[in-house]
Amino acid sequence: MGVIKYNKLVRDRIPEIIEKSGKKAIVEELGNQEYKKYLDIKLEEELQEYLAGDSVDELADLVEVVYAILKCKGVDIDDFESIRKRKTEERGAFEKRFLLKEVVEG
């Protein structure tokens, strides 16, 4: 019987899916501080997977982690969207595809 150690944050139904495959999933429910730490690790992991594969599915995973971080911080998604819109109004979005090459003084 082999054991594979992961120590990584997984989606809520992953232990159930593992159990249905005939294996045993050993999980631990994290406290707030550890949860935030593992969310940050997961954010980096999902970003790397998106960059490696350029997949919309991976981008969806990345957004799911962002939503979990917002919830962990007690930030409502509508409030977050308001922050995003305010920043867009103040600084613009990325629609014009500008690449800032340099800034010349005076």
The two three-digit tokens of residue 46, written as one number: 């999902």
The total of other beta-carbon atoms located within 10 Å of residue 41's CB is 14
Best CA proximity match to 38, nearest among 72, 3, 5: 72
pLDDT at site 69: 98
At 51, which helix (H) or strand (E)?
helix 32-53
Residue 85 included in any domain: yes
Report if pTM > 0.75. Answer: yes
Please, what's the b/e burial string for 46-79 (b: 16 or more CB within 10 A of its CB; e: otherwise)? beeebeeeeeeebeebbeebeebbeeeeeeeeee
Domain count, the chain: 1
Residue 86 included in any domain: yes
Give residue 34's domain range. 30-90
Which DSSP state fits 29? P
Residue 105 included in any domain: no
Residue 4 included in any domain: no
pLDDT at 1 > cutoff 80: no
Residue 15 included in any domain: no
Residue 61 included in any domain: yes
Residue 72 included in any domain: yes
pLDDT at 64 > cutoff 90: yes
Residue 1 included in any domain: no
